[in-house]
């Protein structure tokens, strides 16, 4: 059973109408289109730009209503020199130059810098950095996907800020730009007018969060359903989920890819019987042999891993749906509400109801997640548990 917050069996919290108008500076209504510019370059990663652009472009046909005749967004693809840009996949896209944007007197609402191997040339371009510094004060949202953060850092726009970049390049970013702090255990980060995220598909998560800020959570949920992706992948969620990290570590320690694939099967069947005997049968080993092999590959017991994944899913659903706690316990595989309550007390020191209440209320000394984000990764105890599963 799918545990996505978008699953039709779960009703997302609706705090705004589906087609609510774009806010103007956070207040009131602005009927004009907002211009979103994606800055690309030769050898850029196509998905970094295409993913977010498809999310914004889908608003009229998915949401309809007042947006059917006029999209709330005007989308432009730009590059330093304009013209055809060859992405790293070999696909060429037509772009407008930065000079053209200036000549048109275009007001940029949101600027998104993509990543890719060609980022190093743009990073070293003083004209591009100067353009970014000049434009930055008037841009409502400054964003980067993956290694696009290097370009913003080169322009000095990330000094003293916490950012997210692709996990593989976090150390390199901090080494090259000591004034920048990378938050490694996060999918994306919203800090004032700055939005940064991990690479590749994380750009879609970022775009959904931007739409949510503009049009409300129900609009973003409709788009997430359309693209068949998570809506509420936590900003604090690691770029490699507990399941994916466990698969990766299993592959590093065990050449048998069945161990890595098993974690995906567990995550997709949390409401099933996942006792060690069932897992061993799925894997094709005797229970005793499987238990030893699992610990050797992941550093945790099968029972601990299953409980951690169930707890992770329960936290997500407690924060992103209004479903009864009893139903959530059944859906994620705890079965009885009391069993889930004991797991929460053991790992988080609170009950599911207490967790849901705390997630909605600001806590002293604890950052409040932005609208539409879940906060389970901000819980230190559970974070340690997830890391233990992965290591």
Q: What is the pLDDT of residue 110?
A: 98
- For residues 181 and 170, what is the distance between their CA atoms, to the nearest angstrom? 9
Model confidence pLDDT, tens digit, residues 154-174: 999 999 999 999 989 999 999
Task: Compute the Cα dihedral for 157, 162, 164, 168 and give only its sign.
Answer: positive
325 has pLDDT over 50: yes
Q: What is the pLDDT of residue 98?
A: 97
14 has pLDDT over 90: no
179 has pLDDT over 60: yes
Q: What is the pLDDT of residue 381?
A: 40
Give the single-character DSSP code of 182. E
Model confidence pLDDT, tens digit, residues 84-98: 999 999 999 999 999
For the chain, give percent helix, strand, coil, nearest 5.
50, 15, 40
To the question of pTM greater than 0.75 for the whole model, the response is: no
Domains of the chain: 34-226 (3.40.50.880), 242-390 (1.10.10.60)
- For residues 270 and 287, what is the distance between their CA atoms, to the nearest angstrom? 19
* More confident call, 51 vs 239: 51
Model confidence pLDDT, tens digit, residues 332-379: 999 999 999 999 999 888 999 998 887 765 433 333 333 333 333 334
116 has pLDDT over 70: yes
Model confidence pLDDT, tens digit, residues 140-155: 999 999 999 999 999 9
40 confidence band (pLDDT: 50, 70, 90)? very high
Percent of the chain residues past pLDDT 90, beyond the cut: 55
* More confident call, 125 vs 318: 125
Task: Compute the Cα dihedral for 16, 22, 26, 27 and give only its sign.
Answer: negative
């Amino acid at each position: 059973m799918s545990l996505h917050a978008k699953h039709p069996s779960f009703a997302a919290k609706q705090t705004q109408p589906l087609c609510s108008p774009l806010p103007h500076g956070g207040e009131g209504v602005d009927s004009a289109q907002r211009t979103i510019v994606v800055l690309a370059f030769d050898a850029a990663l196509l998905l970094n730009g295409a993913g977010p652009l498809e999310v914004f472009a889908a608003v009229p046909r998915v949401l309809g209503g007042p947006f059917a005749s006029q999209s709330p967004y005007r989308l432009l693809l730009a590059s330093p020199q304009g013209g055809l840009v060859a992405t790293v996949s070999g696909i060429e896209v037509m772009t407008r130059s930065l000079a053209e944007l200036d000549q048109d007197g275009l007001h940029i609402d949101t600027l998104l810098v993509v990543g890719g191997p060609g980022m190093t040339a743009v990073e070293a371009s003083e004209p591009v950095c100067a353009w970014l510094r000049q434009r930055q004060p008037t841009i409502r949202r400054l964003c980067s996907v993956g290694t696009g953060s290097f370009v913003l850092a080169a322009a000095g726009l990330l000094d003293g800020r916490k950012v997210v970049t692709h996990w593989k390049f976090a150390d390199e970013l901090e080494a090259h730009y000591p004034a920048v702090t990378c938050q490694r255990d996060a999918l994306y980060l919203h800090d004032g007018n700055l939005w940064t995220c991990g690479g590749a598909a994380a750009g879609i998560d970022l775009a959904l969060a931007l739409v949510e800020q503009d049009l409300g959570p129900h609009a973003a949920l409709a788009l997430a359903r359309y693209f068949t992706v998570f809506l509420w992948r936590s900003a604090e969620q690691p770029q490699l989920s507990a399941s994916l990290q466990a698969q990766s570590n299993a592959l590093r320690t065990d050449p048998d890819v069945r161990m890595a694939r098993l974690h995906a099967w567990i995550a997709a069947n949390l409401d099933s019987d996942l006792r060690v005997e069932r897992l061993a049968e799925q894997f094709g080993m005797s229970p005793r042999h499987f238990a030893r092999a699992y610990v050797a590959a992941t550093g945790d017991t099968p029972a601990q891993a299953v409980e951690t994944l169930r707890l992770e899913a329960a936290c997500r659903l407690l924060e992103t749906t209004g479903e009864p706690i009893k139903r959530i316990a059944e859906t994620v595989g705890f079965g009885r509400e009391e069993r889930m309550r004991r797991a929460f007390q053991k790992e988080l020191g609170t009950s599911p109801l207490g967790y849901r209440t705390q997630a909605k209320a600001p806590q002293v000394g604890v950052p409040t997640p932005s609208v539409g984000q879940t906060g389970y990764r901000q819980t230190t105890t559970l974070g340690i548990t997830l890391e233990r599963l992965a290591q």
